């Protein structure tokens, strides 16, 4: 293990290199472009033995990954925002064909207006595609979760593709100190890829991507749902194994000072770091506040209920908006409580769309002013730090 000062994209590229994929197909998009740049350099100078396909679109990037993975090799692609949206239909197919492709996503706002900065709407829109989703708080998590994502995705009880998601700029372009695992340790953790069922081989001809009539289609979807269920335990096991080798502990929902908290903030991504700082400072003022950070969003981490149910208020911060309703995390987390009689009041705050900073002051505003108000008004959703808004 070596400590290096690297940016989030470099952490992603380094993690990918350590996992030795054989085919990488990628198309440039801000702010994810450093990932393919670095990987193509690794290939060019012989640090990584892989085929690099400079595709002509993100749609073709994910399609080429499907072709390569279905032939029998480990693959990787990276994208963001509009690129992820362009992949949309193919994402369902990668999952439906049970191909454990790993992709990094730089969380960037969707047009219009065009905007290259951070929010989660791009990856939240792919919630239902059948991909595992891992959200990172920092560059260390980015490198670690890439390595773990391959192992989880390729487990034969899972066989689902995985997205490792980092915030635009806040993570993609921010230099941080990262413990870079050694190749030796990663090789121990991550054996070479061996396709289990579906691979294209003239010695064993099979048909992949067949036509599923109403008589069979549901069973295909049911098997994907079961794979998602299986993933819950596999994720815990892989996190545990990772901790043993690399000494860093991951949880689907990370709790920070929640055990006695009356107010629990819930969010994901880089703002979790700011949230932890806010929790510390608010506690100095005597406010019992904690943070629940979502690391695994698909499969949905039902643990979130157990760790937040004793709070009086669960304040969900969404860096995304399902227009016409609330933030996506709110609808997801609130629905997990629906059959419980004892549950916290659930408040929802929309923050930081299109890269607007989410600051300590925003957290103070939410905890000290908005939550007391909310206890009376019970407003479904509130927008924070928006000009001329609520």
Partner 1 sequence: MKSVIEEVELLAPGHRMCAGCGLAISTRLALNVAGINTIVVLPTGCLEVTTTQYPETSWRVPFIHVAFENAAAVASGIDVALEMMGRKGINVLAIGGDGGTFDIGFQALSGMFERGHRVTYICHDNEAYMNTGIQRSSATPYAAWTTTSPYGRYSIGKKKRKKPIGIIAVAHDIPYVATATIAYYEDYQRKVKKALSMDGPAFIHVLVPCPTGWRFPPDKTVEISRLAVETGVFVLWEVEGGRMENLKVTVKPKKRKPVEEYLMPQRRFSHLFKPERRQDVIDKIQRTIDEKCERYGL
Residues near partner 1 (CB under 8 A): 22-23, 25, 49-51, 53-57, 59-61, 63-73, 75, 89-90, 93, 97, 200-202, 204-213, 216
Give ∠ CA 274-36-271 in degrees, rounded to 5: 10
CB of 364 to partner 1, least distance (A): 48
Q: Which residue number, 27 or 135, has a Cβ lying nearer to partner 1? A: 27
Q: Which residue number, 208 or 230, has a Cβ lying nearer to partner 1? A: 208
Q: Which residue number, 217 or 325, has a Cβ lying nearer to partner 1? A: 217
Q: Which residue number, 214 or 324, has a Cβ lying nearer to partner 1? A: 214
CB of 79 to partner 1, least distance (A): 14
CB of 323 to partner 1, least distance (A): 28
CB of 272 to partner 1, least distance (A): 35
Contact 298, 132 (CB under 8 A): yes
Q: Which residue number, 93 or 305, has a Cβ lying nearer to partner 1? A: 93
CB of 213 to partner 1, least distance (A): 6
Q: Which residue number, 25 or 263, has a Cβ lying nearer to partner 1? A: 25
Query: How would you label 336-366 residue by residue, b for 16+ Cβ within 10 Å and e otherwise?
Result: bbeeeeebbebbbbbbbbbbbebeeebbbeb
Query: How far apart are alpha carbons 118 and 140 in whole angstroms?
Result: 19
CB of 119 to partner 1, least distance (A): 28
| Bridge pairing between strands 296-298 and 132-135 | antiparallel
| Bridge pairing between strands 132-135 and 102-107 | unpaired
CB of 58 to partner 1, least distance (A): 10
What would the two tokens of residue 218 be? Answer: 């549901």
Cα 367 to chain centroid distance, Å, stands at 26
Contact 267, 329 (CB under 8 A): yes
Which one, of 296, 292, 295, 252, lies nearest residue 275 by Cα? 292
Query: How far apart are alpha carbons 267 and 254 in whole angstroms?
Result: 10
Which one, of 132, 32, 134, 130, lies nearest residue 77 by Cα? 32
Q: Which residue number, 65 or 321, has a Cβ lying nearer to partner 1? A: 65
């Amino acid at each position: 293990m070596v400590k290096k000062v690297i940016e989030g994209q470099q952490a992603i590229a380094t993690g990918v290199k350590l996992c030795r994929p054989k085919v990488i197909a990628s198309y440039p998009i801000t702010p994810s472009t450093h990932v393919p740049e670095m990987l193509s350099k690794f290939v060019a100078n012989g640090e990584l033995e892989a085929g690099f396909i400079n595709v002509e679109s993100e749609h073709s990037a994910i399609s080429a990954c499907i072709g390569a993975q279905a032939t029998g090799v480990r693959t990787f692609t990276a994208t963001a925002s509009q690129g992820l949206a362009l992949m949309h239909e193919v994402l369902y197919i990668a999952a439906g064909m049970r191909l454990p492709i790993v992709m990094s996503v730089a969380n960037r706002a969707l047009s219009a207006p065009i905007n290259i900065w951070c929010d989660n709407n791009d990856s939240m829109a792919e919630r239902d595609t059948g991909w595992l989703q891992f959200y990172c708080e920092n560059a260390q998590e980015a490198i670690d979760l890439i390595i773990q994502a391959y192992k989880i995705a390729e487990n034969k009880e899972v066989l689902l593709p995985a997205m490792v998601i980092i915030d635009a700029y806040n993570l993609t372009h921010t230099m941080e100190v990262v413990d870079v695992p050694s190749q030796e340790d990663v090789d121990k953790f991550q054996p070479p890829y061996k396709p289990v069922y579906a691979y294209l081989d003239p010695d064993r001809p099979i048909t992949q991507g067949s036509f599923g009539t109403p008589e069979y289609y549901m069973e295909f979807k049911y098997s994907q749902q079961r794979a998602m269920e299986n993933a819950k335990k596999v994720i815990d096991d892989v996190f545990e194994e990772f901790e043993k080798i690399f000494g860093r502990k991951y949880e689907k929902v990370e709790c920070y000072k929640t055990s006695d908290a009356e107010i629990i903030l819930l969010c994901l991504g880089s703002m979790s770091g700011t949230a932890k700082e806010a929790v510390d400072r608010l506690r100095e003022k005597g406010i019992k506040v904690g943070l629940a950070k979502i690391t695994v969003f698909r499969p949905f981490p039902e643990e979130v209920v157990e760790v937040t149910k004793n709070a009086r208020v669960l304040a969900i911060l969404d860096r995304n908006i399902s227009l016409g309703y609330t933030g996506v995390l709110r609808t997801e987390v609130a629905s997990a409580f629906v059959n419980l009689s004892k549950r916290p009041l659930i408040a929802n705050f929309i923050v930081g769309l299109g890269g607007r900073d989410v600051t300590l002051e925003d957290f103070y505003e939410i905890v000290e002013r908005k939550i007391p108000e909310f206890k009376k008004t019970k407003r479904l959703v509130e927008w924070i730090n928006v000009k001329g808004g609520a």
